């Protein structure tokens, strides 16, 4: 299996030239940081992740997590690697200095998450979920909860989870039945079962802080009756030490297609006296509070598609250079050529390379928009709208592409990709969950047309298309980019027409919008990525002309050109699917579908 090499030049390019890290850092919110410091820390983090985290990836897959009598054991290598991760302090860097954080922007955290996930997705899931729990407690917890739990969660000594799903209530969270009965002293007795809880039980940390959705007595049905509770695995003594164990048990862990090292748990709360928990935020605001965590998690899950596509691409590229097969066009007759010299293998590699560049731009732009809400409060509402629009695009597009691009990497390996020896199949298996959890990609599409598209009557989307069209005009200054520019104008125009159709037809009949929601998400996301890749072409061309790391920047220009000419045209092709309406989807009854 090829070693993982953090793509630091690619990361630096996107941070500096596409999302303008210096501008993100210019506000008072991040006054303690500068780009030189951020890049120095990222370089050191990349070295650590490549040397410590990446080597345990194979063990996570082959050994996996195990369950016995309620206890969960992770692979031996995970325990050592995670302990070193805690000691490194990288996880605390983007959080509030008041609780031991480094005060760095969330964009920094996203880069760390990318490298961690590329190195070992199964292990990276533990700090990823913890960071989401930190975010929820930071926004909605009491002063006492923040001071009691955040310091050790920031270091990673304690981990965090989110507990939504129940056996009878999957994506329909409003159907959950877990109960929270007031004790009388401000605490609640929590009872019920939760499933699919990532790192719900494990041996990496001293304590686990569960954020649990449950219903208080007399609460209304549906999501309005749901509250959030903080339910620790171990109680905290007055001196900060760990006390007795709470009434929480791990009934089992799931046997899964991938991410074998990450325990996916069935948790039972309150089998004996009732698990004790404390309300987070106001009663009845559980779903709103959880969405703070969910939005954080959705961006991080989208990032998983990028991260595993990057790791699989690195292996595919190395294999394509080493594998000799056939005689390429132009090679000496009878000579065995590396498969990278064959046109279709080049197509597979360029498709991966170009989409990875686009995904990194999209994910980092989404994170930077969240940071700008804090660093540029004068325009905070506009930055928040942009971030909100990008969340379902980042989550859905990038996880769909994670499936597609890891499959292409496997294809480059040919028959060797289908066996476990090369290790590339692990990435294909590991990423498959990402399109499902934190809201399936169909739910992301419904969120896009139901909540994000209606923002300001569709003008948030239309303004983003205005920006894309301006970038298309800027591209005409580069001789080699005329076709890219024309394709980008076509994509923006088609997306604008589809947007107007959804706004006009979706309000009267939601099924009209929902029927076209998934193709619309792919269409809009591809078009916005086209605009971001136009930025890549412009920045790369400028740097190459100035002889700044010339070969690297020329490669970026070619990657952008490939995107604009061979990937971007698919965006306009979605228009008819978006505007077809719901009639055909519901035309066949169940018997006819059989």
pLDDT in tens, 508-567: 899 999 999 999 999 999 999 999 999 999 999 999 999 999 999 999 999 999 999 999
Which residue of the set 322, 438, 469, 583 is catalytic? 438
Confidence of residue 2 (pLDDT cuts 50, 70, 90): low
pLDDT for 287 equals 87
Domain ranges of the chain: 8-153, 159-286, 453-594
Whole-prediction pTM: 0.97
CB-based contact 210:129 (threshold 8 Å): no
Nearest to 451 by CA among 521, 383, 399, 398: 521
Q: What is the DSSP string of 389-400?
A: HHHHHHHHHHHH
Mean pLDDT, the chain, rounded, equals 96
- CATH number assigned to the domain covering 159-286: 2.40.110.20
pLDDT value for 292: 73
Phi, psi of 161 (to 5 degrees): -135, 170
**Mean pLDDT on 412-437:** 96
Could you tell me which of 207, 275, 213, 270 has the C-alpha nearest to residue 243? 207
Phi, psi of 26 (to 5 degrees): -75, -20
Looking at residues 293-317, what average pLDDT do you find? 93
Question: C-alpha 330: how far from its chain's center?
Answer: 43
- Residue 297: pLDDT band (50, 70, 90) is confident
Query: CB atoms < 10 A from the CB of 490, how many?
Result: 17
438 is a catalytic site residue: yes
Residue 394 has pLDDT above 80, yes or no: yes
What local confidence, expressed as pLDDT, does residue 175 receive? 81
DSSP designation for 324: B
| Residues 253, 72 contacting (CB under 8 angstroms) | yes
In sequence order, what E strands does 150-206 have?
Answer: 158-163, 179-182, 187-198
Nearest 10 degrees: CA dihedral of 504, 507, 510, 513? 30
Token couple for 319: 């294999």
- Give 43's pLDDT tier (boundaries 50, 70, 90): very high
Instruction: Encode burial over 274-307: b for 16+ CB neighbours within 10 A, e otherwise.
Output: bbbbbbbbeebbbbebbebbbbbbbbbbbbbbbb
What is the DSSP code (8-state) at residue 325?
A: -
| CB 453, CB 444: distance < 8 Å | no
Q: Is the pLDDT of residue 329 over 90?
A: yes
Q: What is each CA distance from 477 to 21, 64, 255, 315, 565, in whole angstroms?
A: 25, 53, 55, 36, 17
Closest CA to 490 of 527, 458, 529: 527
10: nearest Cα among 313, 297, 337, 335:
313
- Rounded distance between C-alpha atoms, residue 68 and residue 350, angstroms: 46
Confidence of residue 1 (pLDDT cuts 50, 70, 90): low
> Distance between CA atoms of 456 and 193, rounded to whole angstroms?
40
pLDDT of 223: 86
Residues 339-385 pLDDT 10s: 999 999 999 999 999 999 999 999 999 999 999 999 999 999 999 99
The pLDDT confidence band at residue 434, using thresholds 50, 70 and 90, is: very high
- Checking if the pLDDT of 296 tops 90, the result is no
Residue 50 has pLDDT above 70, yes or no: yes
Helix/strand/coil percent split, the chain, to 5: 65, 10, 25
Architecture category of domain 8-153 in CATH: Orthogonal Bundle (1.10)
Q: What is the pLDDT of residues 226-271, one digit of tens each?
A: 999 999 999 999 999 999 999 999 999 999 999 999 999 999 999 9
Categorise residue 259: left if φ over 0, alpha if ψ from -120 to 50, beta otherwise: left
Look at residues 281, 157, 265 and name the one whose alpha carbon lies nearest to residue 213. Answer: 281
Give the Cα separation of 335 and 584 in Å (integer).
54
**b/e string for 202-220 if b means 16 or more Cβ within 10 A?**
bebbebbbbbbbbbbeebe
- What is the average pLDDT across 172-179? 84
**From CA 116, how far away is CA 127, in angstroms rounded?**
9
Residue 419 has pLDDT above 60, yes or no: yes
Mean pLDDT, range 105-110, rounded to an integer: 95
Tell me the two tokens of residue 131: 């960071």
| CA separation for the pair 68, 90 (Å, rounded) | 32
Tell which residue, 586, 564, 132, has the closest CA to residue 358: 564
User: Within a 13 Å sphere around the CA of 381, how many CA atoms are in the beta-carbon half?
Assistant: 3
- Helix, strand or coil, per DSSP, at residue 3: coil
Distance, in Å, from the CA atom of 103 to the CA atom of 131, rounded to the nearest integer, reads: 14
Residue range 67-90: average pLDDT? 97
Number of other residues whose CB lies within 10 A of the CB of residue 134:
28
């Amino acid at each position: 299996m090829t070693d993982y090499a953090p793509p630091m030049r690619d990361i630096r390019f996107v941070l500096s030239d596409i999302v303008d890290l210096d501008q993100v850092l210019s506000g008072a919110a991040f006054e303690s940081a500068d780009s030189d410091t951020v890049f120095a820390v990222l370089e050191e983090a990349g070295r650590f992740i490549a040397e410590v985290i990446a080597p345990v990836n194979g063990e996570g897959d082959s050994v996996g997590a195990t369950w016995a009598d309620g206890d969960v054991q992770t692979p031996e290598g995970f325990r050592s690697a995670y302990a070193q991760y805690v000691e490194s302090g990288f996880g605390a860097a983007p959080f509030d200095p008041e609780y031991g954080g480094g005060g760095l922007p969330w964009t920094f955290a996203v880069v760390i998450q990318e490298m961690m996930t590329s190195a070992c997705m199964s292990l990276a899931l533990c700090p990823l979920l913890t960071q989401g729990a930190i975010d929820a407690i930071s926004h909605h917890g009491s002063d006492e909860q923040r001071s009691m739990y955040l310091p050790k969660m920031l270091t990673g000594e304690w981990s965090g989870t989110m507990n939504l799903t129940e056996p009878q209530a999957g994506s329909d969270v409003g159907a959950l039945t877990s109960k929270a009965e007031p004790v009388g002293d401000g605490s609640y007795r929590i009872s019920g079962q939760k499933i699919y809880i990532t790192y719900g039980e494990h041996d990496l940390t001293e304590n686990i802080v569960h954020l649990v959705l449950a219903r208080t007595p007399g609460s209304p049905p549906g999501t309005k009756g749901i509250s959030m509770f903080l339910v620790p695995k171990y109680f905290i003594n007055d001196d900060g030490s760990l006390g007795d164990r709470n009434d929480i048990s791990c009934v089992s862990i799931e046997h899964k297609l991938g991410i074998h090292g990450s325990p996916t748990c069935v948790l039972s709360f309150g089998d004996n006296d009732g698990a004790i928990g404390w309300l987070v935020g106001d009663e009845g605001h559980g779903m709103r509070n959880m969405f703070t965590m969910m939005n954080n998690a959705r961006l991080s899950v989208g990032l998983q598609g990028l991260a595993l596509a990057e790791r699989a691409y690195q292996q595919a590229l190395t294999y394509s250079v080493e594998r000799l097969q056939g005689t390429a066009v132009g090679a000496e007759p009878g000579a065995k050529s590396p498969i990278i010299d064959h046109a279709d293998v080049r197509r597979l590699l360029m498709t991966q390379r170009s989409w990875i560049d686009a995904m990194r731009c999209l994910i980092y732009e989404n994170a930077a928009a969240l940071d700008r809400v804090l660093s540029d409060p004068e325009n905070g509402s506009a930055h928040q709208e942009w971030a909100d629009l990008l969340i379902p695009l980042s989550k859905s597009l990038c996880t769909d592409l994670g499936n597609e691009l890891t499959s292409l990497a496997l294809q480059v390996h040919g028959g060797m990709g289908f066996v476990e020896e090369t290790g590339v199949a692990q990435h294909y298996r590991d990423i498959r969950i990402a399109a499902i959890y934190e809201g399936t990609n169909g739910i992301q599409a419904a969120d896009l047309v139901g909540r994000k598209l209606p923002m300001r009557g569709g003008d948030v989307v239309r303004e983003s298309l205005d920006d894309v069209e301006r970038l298309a005009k800027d591209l005409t200054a580069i001789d080699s980019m005329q076709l890219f520019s024309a394709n980008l104008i076509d994509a923006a125009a088609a997306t604008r027409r589809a947007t107007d159709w959804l706004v006009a037809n979706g309000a009267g009949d939601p099924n009209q919008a929902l029927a076209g929601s998934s193709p619309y998400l792919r269409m809009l996301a591809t078009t916005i990525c086209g605009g971001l890749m136009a930025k890549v072409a412009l920045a790369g061309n400028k740097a190459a002309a100035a002889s700044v790391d010339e070969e690297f920047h020329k490669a970026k220009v070619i990657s952008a050109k490939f995107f604009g000419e061979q990937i971007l045209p698919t965006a306009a092709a979605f228009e008819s699917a978006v505007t077809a309406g719901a009639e055909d989807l519901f035309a066949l009854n169940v018997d006819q579908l059989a």
